[in-house]
Amino acid sequence: MNTLRVATFLIGTALMGASLFAAAHTEEYFDSVESPHGGQMRMSGPYHLELVAKDKEIVLYVMDHANSKLSAEGGSGKATIQTGKDKTRTSVKLEQAGDNILKGTGEFSIKPETVVTVFVELPGQEAYSASFTPLKPKAKLAMKTKAAKPEADGGDPHHHTHH
What ranges do the domains of the chain cover? 34-136
Instruction: Kindly compute the dihedral angle of the four CA atoms of residues 28, 32, 35, 39, in this order, to the nearest 10 degrees.
Output: 70
* Amino acid at site 3: T
Comparing 61-65, 69-73, 133-137, which segment has the lowest mean pLDDT?
Answer: 133-137
pLDDT at 17 over 60: no
The answer on pLDDT for 135 being more than 50 is yes
Q: Which residue has the higher pLDDT, 123 or 20?
A: 123
Q: What is the pLDDT of residue 86?
A: 74
Query: Of 77 and 54, which is predicted with more confidence?
Result: 77
Which helix (H) or strand (E) element contains residue 8?
helix 2-23
147 near 141, Cβ under 8 Å?
yes
Q: Pick from 40, 123, 115: which is nearest to 84 by CA?
A: 115
Residue 155 confidence (pLDDT) above 50: no
Residue 19 has pLDDT above 50, yes or no: no
103: pLDDT strictly greater than 80: yes
pLDDT band at 140 (very low <50, low <70, confident <90, very high): low
Q: What is the CATH number of domain 34-136?
A: 2.60.40.2480
| pLDDT recorded at residue 139 | 63
For the chain, percent of residues with pLDDT exceeding 70: 69
pLDDT grade for 81, boundaries at 50, 70 and 90: very high
Beta bridge mates, 53: 58
Write down the mean pLDDT value for the chain. 78
**3-state class (DSSP) for residue 12:** helix
